[in-house]
Amino acid sequence: MKITVKLFAGFRNDRFKVDDLEFPENATVADVLGALKINEPELGVAMINGRHVAKDQVLKGGETLSLFPKVGGG
């Protein structure tokens, strides 16, 4: 299944800003992190279609998954 993955801040280094990637059925957010070689503790926020999700969230295909490292401001 196809997932549109958007990366932000330091996650973009040596990777990409946005890309359509193929994953097996029932892949989770953690599986996407693994495929991108991002250590799980580095993840700050994961969102699917603008809503926060947990790392064990199962993907259905066709979603946009946005991944952020731990960032902040104010």
List contacts with another protein (CB under 8 A).
6, 8-10, 12, 17, 42, 44-45, 47, 50-52, 66, 68-74
Contact 49, 64 (CB under 8 A): yes
30 φ, ψ (degrees, to nearest 5): -60, -35
Nearest to another protein of 18, 26 (CB atom)? 18
In angstroms, give the least distance from the CB of 4 to another protein.
Answer: 12
Structure tokens at 49: 């279609």
Nearest to another protein of 6, 36 (CB atom)? 6
In angstroms, give the least distance from the CB of 45 to another protein.
Answer: 6
Contact 39, 3 (CB under 8 A): no
